[in-house]
C-alpha cells in the first residue's frame, strides 16, 4: 500500500505577530500621552490656551497641570501595564480583539454622524432660554429680541432686563432711547450690558448719571469685538448726535475673537459665514479650547483691525472713540503679553481700568455694582478730558439771578427741538447739590452757575467766540469775567 500524504495544519494567525502588533499600538498611544505631557509645559500652554473669563488664572493653571499629570500617568500605565496585557489578550483571542477595534471605530463614526445632524449653537449662545432672550441674526450671529422684558435670578436677586424696540437695554419699555438726543453709545458684551445688575447699576446708566447725557447700551451677551463692531456699524447711523463711542476689550475675552462657529470677520475685515466642523471636532473644541499659533496670530491681526475701524467709524460720525481695557485683579504675565501685543504693538490708544478681583457677583464672574461704578467713573473722567479738548467754539449768554429773563440770539444753536425757541424765558433753578438753567419744555442744563455779585440792568451781548471745557452741546460752562458770569454754549 502507498504512503498517505502528510496532513496540512489549518492556517491560523501567528500568535506572536498578533501580540507584537497589539503591544506596538498600545505602546504608541501611551508614548504619545507621555510626550504630550512633557511638551505641554506652562509656556506652551500659555501660548495655545488663551486667558479665560470664567476661570481664575490659578484655577486655569491648576487644571492644566492636572491634565498634564493625568496624561503622563495614563501614558505610563499604557506602556508598562496595559501593553503586555493587550498583547496577551490579542494573542489568545485575535478575532475578538479585532471586533473590539472595529466596534470602537463604528461607534466613533456613528457618534460623529449623529452630532452633525444635531444643530449645535455657537459656543457663546448654548441656551435658547437664557434671559435676556436672543434671536438669530444672519449678519451678527444673534441679537436681542426687541420690545421685551425678561427676568433672571442671579447673584441672589431677580434682575429685570428691558430691551426697547430698537434693541437697546433701557430702564423701562416705555422709556426707549431717543436717537435725536446727544448720546454716548456703548458697545460690547455681557460686562458692558450689565449682566446681573439692575439698569441703574449698569455701566452705561451710571455714566449717564455722572455726565447728565443720554447713553445707549448696544452691548449683547457673548459678542466678540468683531460682532460689537458690526453691531455699531448698523446702529450708529440711526443716531443724529453721537457724542462718544465706548468699547471694551479684555484679554480674558480674547478667545471669542478666535471663534469661527458664528459669522465673523477675517483679515481685512471681510465678513465670513460660520464654519461648521464635524460633530466630534466641535465637541472636542468646546471641551479643550486649544488654539494653534496661526489661529492666535490671525486673531491678533483681526482684533487690531476691528479696534482701529471702531475708532475710525466713531470719528466719521463726529463722535469721540474711547477704548476701555478692563483688568480684574493683578495682571498676569500672559495677559500682559497679550494686551501689549494687540494694543501697544499697534499703537492703539486705550484706558486701562484695574478692578479689585473680589468685586464680582456672588457665584458669578461678572462685575458687581461697585465694580461697574468704578468703571463708569473712569469712563466719565476720560470723556470729560477728551471732549473738553475737542469742544467746538462757544458763544456766551449772560446768566443772572433775575428770573425770568429773555434772550434772542441762540436760534439754531441747540438741538432741533430748541431751534425754534428764539425768544422765550430761561429760569435759574435750584437743583441740589448744584444749580442749573431751565429753558422750558423740560430742557434743563444742570450745571454749576457762577452768578454775578449784582444783576445787570439788561442782558449782555455775546462776547467773541471762544473755546471752553464744555464737553458737549447739551452742557454749559460758566466763566466769570469782570464781575459778571457768562454761560457758554457751543455754536
**In this structure, are strands 477-481 and 484-490 parallel, antiparallel, or unpaired?**
antiparallel
Which cell numbers in the block locate residue 434? 448744584
Residue with the bigger pLDDT between 226 and 154: it is 226
Q: What is the pLDDT of residues 122-164, one digit of tens each?
A: 656 667 788 899 999 999 999 999 999 999 988 789 999 999 9
Q: What is the pLDDT of residues 322-338, one digit of tens each?
A: 999 999 988 888 999 99
Strand order from edge to edge, sheet including 477-481? 394-398, 484-490, 477-481
Sign (positive/negative) of CA torsion 345, 346, 351, 357?
negative
* Torsion angle of the four alpha carbons 189, 264, 259, 251, in this order, in degrees rounded to the nearest 10: -50
Q: Which residues of 276-301 are buried (b: 16+ CB within 10 A; e: fewer)?
A: ebebbebeebeeeeebeeeebebbbe
Please return the burial class of 29, using the count of CB atoms within 10 Å of its CB with bins 0-12, 13-18 and 19+: middle
CA 438, 443, 449, 451 dihedral sign is negative
What CATH number does the domain located at 134-389 have? Answer: 3.40.50.1110
Q: Which residue has the higher pLDDT, 57 or 308?
A: 308
Query: Greater confidence, 107 or 198?
Result: 198
List, as one string, the DSSP characters of 313-342. HHHHTT-EEEEEEEEESS--HHHHHHHHHH
End-to-end CA distance of the chain: 131
Domain positions in the chain: 15-117, 134-389, 394-490
| Cα gap 243→53, rounded to integer Å | 30
Whether pTM > 0.75 for this model: the answer is no
Q: In what order do the strands lie in the sheet with 434-438?
A: 405-406, 425-431, 434-438, 444-445
Per the structure block, which three cell numbers stand in for 476? Answer: 454749559
Summarised one tens digit per residue, pLDDT across range 371-406 is 999 999 999 999 988 876 554 433 334 343 333 333
pLDDT at 387: 78
Using CA atoms, how far residue 456 sits from 189, 402, 452, in Å, is: 53, 9, 8
Sequence-distant (≥ 6) Cβ neighbours of residue 44 within 8 angstroms: none
477 three-state secondary structure:
strand
Looking at the chain, the number of H-run helices and the number of E-run strands are 13, 19
Question: What tens digit of pLDDT does each residue of 27-68 get?
Answer: 899 899 899 889 888 888 888 888 877 777 778 788 888 988
Maximum distance among all Cα pairs of the chain, rounded to whole angstroms: 153
**Distances in Å between the alpha carbon of 81 and those of 5, 68, 87, 172, 307?**
47, 19, 11, 66, 54
User: In the prediction, which pLDDT does 464 show?
Assistant: 31
Name 249's bridge partners: 325
Going by pLDDT thresholds of 50, 70 and 90, the confidence category of residue 362 is confident
| Mean pLDDT score, 458-476 | 34
- For 338-453, where are the E strands, in sequence order? 351-355, 394-398, 405-406, 425-431, 434-438, 444-445
CA distance 447 to 289: 51
Amino acid at each position: 500500500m502507498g504512503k498517505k500524504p502528510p496532513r496540512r495544519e489549518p492556517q491560523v494567525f501567528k500568535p506572536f505577530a498578533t501580540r507584537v502588533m497589539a503591544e506596538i499600538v498600545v505602546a504608541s498611544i501611551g508614548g504619545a500621552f507621555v510626550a504630550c505631557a512633557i511638551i505641554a509645559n506652562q509656556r506652551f500652554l500659555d501660548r495655545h490656551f488663551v486667558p479665560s473669563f470664567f476661570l481664575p488664572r490659578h484655577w486655569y493653571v491648576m487644571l492644566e497641570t492636572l491634565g498634564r499629570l493625568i496624561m503622563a500617568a495614563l501614558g505610563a500605565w499604557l506602556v508598562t501595564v496595559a501593553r503586555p496585557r493587550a498583547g496577551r489578550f490579542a494573542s489568545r483571542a485575535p478575532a475578538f480583539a479585532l471586533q473590539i477595534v472595529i466596534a470602537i471605530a463604528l461607534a466613533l463614526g456613528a457618534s460623529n454622524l449623529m452630532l452633525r445632524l444635531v444643530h449645535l449653537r455657537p459656543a457663546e449662545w448654548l441656551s435658547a432660554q437664557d434671559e435676556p432672550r436672543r434671536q438669530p441674526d444672519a449678519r451678527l450671529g444673534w441679537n436681542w429680541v426687541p420690545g421685551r422684558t425678561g427676568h433672571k435670578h442671579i447673584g441672589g436677586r431677580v434682575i429685570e432686563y428691558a430691551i426697547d424696540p430698537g434693541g437697546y437695554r433701557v430702564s423701562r419699555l416705555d422709556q426707549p432711547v431717543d436717537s435725536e438726543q446727544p448720546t454716548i453709545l456703548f458697545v460690547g458684551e455681557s460686562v458692558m450690558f450689565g449682566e446681573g445688575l439692575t439698569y441703574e447699576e449698569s455701566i452705561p446708566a451710571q455714566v449717564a448719571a455722572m455726565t447728565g447725557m443720554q447713553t445707549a447700551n448696544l452691548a449683547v451677551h457673548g459678542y466678540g469685538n468683531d460682532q460689537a463692531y458690526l453691531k455699531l456699524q448698523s446702529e450708529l447711523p440711526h443716531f443724529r448726535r453721537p457724542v462718544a463711542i465706548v468699547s471694551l476689550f479684555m484679554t480674558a475675552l480674547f478667545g471669542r475673537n478666535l471663534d469661527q462657529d458664528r459669522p465673523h470677520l477675517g483679515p481685512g475685515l471681510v465678513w465670513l459665514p460660520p464654519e461648521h466642523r464635524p460633530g466630534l471636532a466641535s465637541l472636542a473644541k468646546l471641551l479643550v479650547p486649544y488654539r494653534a499659533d496661526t489661529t492666535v496670530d490671525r486673531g491678533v491681526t483681526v482684533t487690531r483691525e476691528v479696534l482701529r475701524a471702531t475708532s475710525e467709524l466713531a470719528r466719521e460720525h463726529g463722535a469721540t472713540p474711547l477704548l476701555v481695557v478692563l483688568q480684574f485683579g493683578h495682571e498676569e504675565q500672559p495677559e500682559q503679553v497679550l494686551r501689549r501685543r494687540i494694543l501697544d504693538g499697534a499703537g492703539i490708544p486705550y484706558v486701562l481700568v484695574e478692578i479689585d478681583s473680589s468685586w464680582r457677583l456672588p457665584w458669578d464672574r461678572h462685575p458687581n455694582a461697585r465694580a461697574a461704578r468704578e468703571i463708569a467713573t473712569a469712563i466719565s473722567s476720560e470723556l470729560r478730558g477728551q471732549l473738553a479738548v475737542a469742544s467746538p467754539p462757544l458763544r456766551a449768554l449772560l446768566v443772572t439771578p433775575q428770573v425770568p429773563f429773555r434772550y434772542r440770539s441762540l436760534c439754531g444753536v441747540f438741538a432741533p427741538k430748541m431751534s425754534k425757541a428764539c425768544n422765550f424765558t430761561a429760569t435759574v433753578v435750584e437743583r441740589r447739590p448744584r444749580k442749573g438753567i431751565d429753558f422750558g419744555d423740560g430742557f434743563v442744563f444742570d450745571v454749576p452757575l457762577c452768578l454775578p455779585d449784582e444783576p445787570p440792568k439788561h442782558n449782555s451781548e455775546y462776547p467773541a467766540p471762544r473755546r471752553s471745557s464744555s464737553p458737549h452741546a447739551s452742557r454749559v460752562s460758566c466763566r466769570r469775567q469782570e464781575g459778571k458770569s457768562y454761560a457758554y454754549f457751543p455754536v
